[in-house]
Structure 1
């Protein structure tokens, strides 16, 4: 027994020592080693602070940024949208890094390097875990390797051109309902009226994705939309806690509510999916919405190859439909209205084009491709106000990038918004609203740099699968709005493009709306 006791104590000590070594390596030795490598490569940033890194200053500047709008209306928004990142890049130059806990994040602003990273997803996968992202979405956004290839193959049919045509009537119907609400607000008023258009546009995007994703179950879909909106707000309340180990179990009110919402979201989605499966099996429902098409494609994959997506996988893809599908489009539509409210000459040009293409008849899917002026406007809005202003990739092994060998454990921040506002790429007017730069297409809009610096939907193999869906919805919404209303910014408008998951106007979008349909 005495020998057994000594062996047990020895094993216990060995385990504790090994565990302690891993902790010390994680919180101190590895970060200091990576810091030395970064500085040897010419990168500059703050010295590593034990465990927290730059998180305290990061959270403080984000909180301050969210508390107030930009003092003046400008499209030069990088310092406001990414306050801490902009501060570090301004302080240390192009080759800068920050510490998010014990992990360094290096800024990549060279479009060619960004293009190389995005074209090599196996060498530069998405960071795992990534607390903010992983708490809200999953699916294709976070899946890697063979699993991603399989899921992309299964989901692709949901976003092909033929199915997009089928969904067009649902998109048009939702846009018409929003426009009717605005007409009620402006009926009998000769002059313009102040309206915060953001809640309407946000709800429009939720309605569109609810109808196109879940068909007849769209009312339940709206519940998902509301839960996910609350989840994003709760995450911002917990920003400082996100990188702490065991964060899910810290008993704060926000954390408790977040975990309750997560369970409710799973249950609601599982119920919708089960109901849709049964309706398809009994012939009560067709496969003409995103969920139906996905389930049909998944069944085909299982029949042909024996394995497809699990219930959990389908739930994660449905969550992604909502965040990516609704937020991307709502942001594009609202910033387009803000830009056209500022630059009314483009509002007039777009309205005249819509009248020329459609006359007094209803919009149709085929006609949308003839809206060249509106397309240029949307391209320019996506450049100035990209839905995703920064994305990250990671290294899990020593990896060559350009002329560097990057060690494992480094996060690469691809600074889309900085590239979109770079004067060396777009000219001295890079922060001005000039849709005419896209007159001859995207590849000719830059100063000889081609299309690689234009990244509103990312690029490479993992380019956004829903970009055509987003553009169709945005064109439809803007065409219907411009036909019936003229608008300009209200004196009470506060310019506040601040990133949450995408980049909505955090203080709303107050416009002076005038009905011109009569």
Structure 2
């Protein structure tokens, strides 16, 4: 019996040795391939931090991040221009800033087996913008991690699948279509305006009554209501649970920290914990179920009233597209609709709401720009309610929004992966390399924007983006190239409408309780919210 036991132990030990040897062999080969790619980049003059075996520069990133956190002070209540306009990338992404100072605006680094190229050279960013081939797309390891939130919708898709979905969804956000949404945007804003008026009245009936408002959640509800009405034919109340659970999933995924830069597989030291993954999986199932119920409700409504199917909002376009190909299975048809709804629900309301919060923060700090906007309101819509014809006349509002998006772009990165060997400008990028551009850094580059690059100066956009900086292609708040955000027109119009309506009714300043602490939760948002003191005009 003892001999049998010893034999079994020997077999198990040999099996473990074989498995471990196989893992080392496979990952050793991958490692050497990674090193070959790294050498190809180095031969072109690119330097970067030396990687460790298997883990690349991930240990360095963790160490630098931990050191930055230990040095970080408590959220600052200082409302000076100098503090509020500081370059927050050194706190949120300290490894990128450290390496940029060491190796310049173009360097290489690795996360495990994945080689990356950091690009913050304006000329190369311009060339990156111009590259239209489908050989350059979203990094696969990033999109894999975002699958629970975005499914296989337009924000995650690549290649021909992405091209098909973009063609379908983009039609809903052409400017002619967006102009028809202005009335719904104004209607959706009324509950927010009424709520704030009632809060002021609750502080007294005098002309000097002031209320403190945390604007973030109110702006999220407003933005969610708009996207619900214009794209899916229902109000925020029907989709409220969807938005709430999407927000919960966003927070759960963001809490893991650094997941965007972690590799997949054996050396993934930043993987989600099983408990957190179970929470995310549960939220994914609930969100998809809620969206599908809304889809089935639309189908029932269309079957009962044929005139509804002629109202071509995004929901109807998705339904028609999914049913147009008889060879497409029911499950794919369902996931196609649900995944794109998730993408539009998330991207269509979260980024716009965050941008509006940053707008109110900077306008609260600079009340003279509120006064300039009110002058435009009195000139173009004395009743304080803009329309399709008057919106293009609000030049000051446009300048303010453009400057806010320069200083606090909700999207922190433009990220791409080369699916084949490609050439960007004079740079040869090997297949598999991921290219990253840190948007806040290039938006604050003194060489592009001048010595006042960190200051709030909307007047720099008085003659448009082309005259605001030396290299207009370095202004990328909505991304770059053929993957430029298709909701750009929608976001700009909604931001204009919201700011005009608020500023025509209220004056506001920053609350003493406001704590300036930009945070990265897939987008750059106010870490502790935006608190303002509002007063009726």
* Superposed pair shares fold, TM > 0.5: yes
State whether residues 221 and 236 of structure 2, in contact with CA within 8 Å, keep that contact through their aligned partners in structure 1.
Answer: no
Report whether the alignment pairs 1:21 with 2:25. Answer: yes
| 2:507 counterpart SS class | strand
Q: What's the offset of the Cα at 1:16?
A: 9.1
Q: 1:75 to 1:176 in 2, by over 3 A?
A: farther
> Is the deviation greater in 40-49 or in 290-299?
290-299
Q: What's the offset of the Cα at 1:211?
A: 2.6
Structure 2 equivalent of residue 69 of structure 1? 75
Q: What's the offset of the Cα at 1:361?
A: 5.6
| 2:315 counterpart SS class | helix
Counterparts of 1:283 and 1:45, CA distance in 2: 62
Q: What are structure 1's unaligned runs of at least 5 residues?
A: 1-11
1:256 to 248, 268, 278: 278
Matches within 5 A, 1:101-112: 101-112=112-123
State whether residues 413 and 437 of structure 2, in contact with CA within 8 Å, keep that contact through their aligned partners in structure 1.
Answer: yes
Structure 1 equivalent of residue 509 of structure 2? 488
Structure 1 equivalent of residue 287 of structure 2? 265
Q: 1:142 to 1:116 in 2, by over 3 A?
A: farther
State whether residues 88 and 98 of structure 1, in contact with CA within 8 Å, keep that contact through their aligned partners in structure 2.
Answer: no
Structure 2 equivalent of residue 163 of structure 1? 177
Q: Deviations over 1:388-433 (max 9, x none)?
A: 1212111233222222322222111022222211111111111111
> Is the deviation greater in 288-297 or in 201-210?
288-297
Counterparts of 2:318 and 2:421, CA distance in 1: 39
Q: 1:111 to 1:492 in 2, by over 3 A?
A: same
Structure 1 equivalent of residue 529 of structure 2? 508
Counterparts of 1:307 and 1:153, CA distance in 2: 21
| TM-score of the two chains, using structure 1 as the length reference | 0.88
Report whether the alignment pairs 1:278 with 2:300. Answer: yes
Structure 2 equivalent of residue 9 of structure 1? none
Counterparts of 1:366 and 1:390, CA distance in 2: 34
Q: Deviations over 1:62-120 (max 9, x none)?
A: 57659843673224333234322112212332222332222122111123322322333
Q: Deviations over 1:332-375 (max 9, x none)?
A: 21111111111111111011211211002633222211111101
Q: What's the offset of the Cα at 1:307?
A: 10
Q: What's the offset of the Cα at 1:297?
A: 5.3
Report whether the alignment pairs 1:89 with 2:100. Answer: yes
> Is the deviation greater in 288-297 or in 147-156?
288-297
2:477 to 451, 456, 464: 456
Q: What's the offset of the Cα at 1:473?
A: 1.0
Counterparts of 2:443 and 2:258, CA distance in 1: 29
> Is the deviation greater in 470-479 or in 309-318?
309-318
Q: What's the offset of the Cα at 1:22?
A: 2.6
Report whether the alignment pairs 1:357 with 2:380. Answer: yes
Q: 1:351 to 1:291 in 2, by over 3 A?
A: same
Report whether the alignment pairs 1:236 with 2:254. Answer: yes
Q: 1:24 to 1:67 in 2, by over 3 A?
A: farther
2:33 to 30, 45, 48: 30
Q: Deviations over 1:453-511 (max 9, x none)?
A: 21111232221111111111111111111011111112221112222222110111111
> Is the deviation greater in 393-402 or in 281-290?
281-290
- Number of residue-to-residue matches in the alignment: 501
State whether residues 114 and 263 of structure 2, in contact with CA within 8 Å, keep that contact through their aligned partners in structure 1.
Answer: no
| TM-score of the two chains, using structure 2 as the length reference | 0.85
Q: What are structure 2's unaligned runs of at least 5 residues?
A: 1-15
Structure 1 equivalent of residue 135 of structure 2? 123
Q: Deviations over 1:314-337 (max 9, x none)?
A: 211111112211122112211111
Structure 1 equivalent of residue 12 of structure 2? none
Structure 2 equivalent of residue 245 of structure 1? 265
